[in-house]
A and B are shown apart, each in its own frame.
Chain A
Amino acid sequence: MTVQLPFVQVLLPLLGAPLCALLRSRVAAWLLFLLAALGSLGCAVLLAQRVATAGTQRYSVGGWTAPVGIEFVIDDFNTPVLLLVSLIAAVVAVFSHRSLAAEVAAKRVPLVYACLCLVLAGMLGIAVTGDAFNAFVFLEIMSLASYALIAMGRRRRALLAAFRYLVVGSVGAVFVLIGIGLAYAVTGTLNMADLAQRLGGLHGNRALYAAVVFVLVGLAVKMAVFPLHAWLPDAYAQAPSAVGVLLSATATKVAIYALLRFAFTVFGATLVFGVMPVGRIGALLAVLAMLIGSAVACFQTDLKYLLAWSSIAQIGYIVAGISLATTAGVSAAYLHVINHAVTKAALFAAAGLLVLRLGSARLDDLAGFGRRMPWTFAAVVVAGLGLVGVPPTAGFVSKWALATALLERGQWPVLAAMLVSSLLALVYVGRIVEVGWFREPSLVTVMNRPPVSMVAAIWFLVLLSVYFGLDATLPSSLADAAAAALLRNGG
């Protein structure tokens, strides 16, 4: 049984999807998604333990051994992603029960859960697979399900958001497909480990350069790296709240994982960051993302849009860490992936609760919510300070690690941009505080008592982010092990 764990990891949510769609019962579908998420979390914990004791786990799907068959590889680098994604999915499952019931028509709720299961299966699949083409297939499973989920939003603008994301996302995915095809044309293999071995001797091949560019640009679309970010604010803000929480916390992070996997393990750091100027371009885009993302966030009139723009800036921090291509830089980026996922999930969840209770997430409609809902307000403030990077929050730990990594390489301009962006973050978090605490409360209330499950989910995430700020040993050790594994393989 334990030998099959890597496959069970993906199988559980994948089986959940058709069952949710067939059962047509809201409670049964919710229970199935919850069980699938908890089962995945259990699997991820068991796998993490096995990797820690016995090293890298390799699993041949259907008994066809690599490089012919599809191989699942679990190592120090993807266990944190598995843990993060399945943990967030479990929290979203708890959160979604009441939130979706209020925001989505009753007959569609089981289908939403079916899509949530598919998104989860796709994300876990991208993380476990050791086959380049298989990664593309899982990427599309995740993306297609998320287009459908975004279209479930309450306003009709959600449809336009989903359609635009579909067009841009599909172009990005096809870019990845072209890149994988070119790499296959050069080497004749699709297995990631095999590709890495054969590509080693091929530096100077122009088809290989094209392959690197296509894969990286395609994944950058899915990551919402600065000039390719236009789909993100509408998609996350218009989606149903529970979907927004899941996607904002994990979808871009899984794309970041895939980018790291391709850049370091498959193509190798010497090619991508040594021969090609990916590091310099990455640093430039990161600076632009940090400054523009935070600046635009300051001018938003809707809490969800504000949070989405802030995500674009935070992805800038992560890209800055990756573009250094040092162990410290990648480790800091990885740490920020974990910390930002938890913090941003908490904020989007709080925004979802506000939508439920006040009927809107517009800042004008949120006037004075802090005086009427002090606990929700406290959660927003604590998580918001995490975005700014005030100690002792999780955001401070990862920003500190990132600043150290940048200083190590003398990247002063990037560091300066990071500080400016953090100050701008103070401005937009300050705006939420100003609106929520210092304005006269409006009288509109849709729901008086907040659902316990949603409050529990929000506070779990907030306390987790504070815990990661006070005692960073768990995320730091995961991130360090991941970065070490990555740079050892890519070398």
Chain B
Amino acid sequence: MIGSHYVYWLTFALMMIGLYVVISHGNLIKKLIGLSLFQVAVFLFYISLGKVDGGTAPIITEGTQTYSHPLPHVLILTAIVVGVATLAVGLALVVRLFESYGSLEEDEILQRDISDRDTTDRDGVAS
């Protein structure tokens, strides 16, 4: 069971590593790295679903009878685009966060946030 399905064990292990990085790290960039790892693991999972034993690339050629399933690949092309967009928005936010707080550590950002809530009495003045 484990032997024939080892790809799933590997992809799910990679997913959990990614998720653990997201949860355990306070650095915003590292969080995004973990998130990307998590997403890529899911992409690998989808792609492995499309593999047919002995199948070649799904392009019709002379003399080939079995092809790998192309649909998961197409799906994951879409999901990769979504992943890239998520990472881009995330990095853009990190840049703006660094510009306004001068830090990439979540706890330092929170601390500065609490201190400026005490000093500025009206919002809109901050930043």
Contact = CB atoms under 8 A, between A and B. Distances in A.
Interface of A: 133, 136-137, 140, 144, 147-148, 151, 154-157, 159-160, 162-163, 166-167, 170-171, 173-174, 177-178, 181, 184-185, 190, 359-360, 362, 365, 444
Nearest to B126: A155
23 contacts: A136-B79, A144-B85, A144-B86, A151-B93, A151-B96, A155-B126, A155-B127, A160-B109, A163-B28, A166-B89, A167-B31, A170-B39, A171-B19, A171-B22, A171-B38, A173-B82, A174-B39, A181-B42, A181-B45, A181-B46, A184-B49, A184-B72, A359-B122
Contacts of A359: 122-124
Contact of A155 (B19, B94, B123): B123
Tell me whether chain B's interface is mostly helix, strand or loop, or mixed. helix
B122 to A, nearest CB: 6
Contacts of B38: 171, 174
A365 B96 CA distance: 29
Given A166-B89, A178-B45, A360 B122 contact: yes
> Which of the four size classes fits the interface of chain B?
35 or more
A140 B39 CA distance: 13
Given A163-B93, A359-B123, 12 more contacts: A136-B79, A140-B82, A140-B85, A156-B126, A160-B113, A167-B22, A170-B86, A174-B38, A177-B79, A178-B15, A184-B72, A190-B75
Nearest to B38: A174
Contacts of B42: 174, 177-178, 181
A147 B49 contact: no
A160 B38 CA distance: 21
A144 B79 CA distance: 13
Nearest to B90: A166
B17 to A, nearest CB: 14
Contacts of A159: 93, 96-97, 100
Nearest to B86: A170
Contact of B75 (A133, A147, A166, A360): A133
A155 B120 CA distance: 11
A181 B72 CA distance: 9
Contacts of B86: 140, 144, 166, 170
Nearest to B124: A154
Nearest to B109: A160
Contact of B89 (A148, A171, A177, A362): A148
Among B19, B22, B79, B82, which residue has the most Cβ atoms of chain A within 10 A? B82
Interface string B1-31: 0000000000000010001001000001001
Contacts of B93: 147, 151, 159, 162-163, 166
A155 B82 CA distance: 28
A185 B49 contact: yes
B78 interface: yes
A163 B95 CA distance: 11
Most A CB within 10 A of own CB, among B19, B22, B90 = B90
Contacts of A174: 38-39, 42
Nearest to B48: A185
A167 B28 CA distance: 10
Contacts of B45: 178, 181
Given A133-B75, A159-B97, A171 B90 contact: no
Contacts of A167: 22, 31-32, 35, 90
A277 to B, nearest CB: 23
A481 B122 CA distance: 48
Nearest to A157: B113
A162 B97 CA distance: 10
A167 B31 CA distance: 8
A163 B96 CA distance: 10
Contacts of B39: 170, 174
A160 B46 CA distance: 32
A163 B75 contact: no
A362 B121 CA distance: 10
Contacts of B35: 167, 170-171
Contacts of A178: 15, 42, 45
A56 to B, nearest CB: 26
A163 B122 contact: no
Contacts of A157: 113
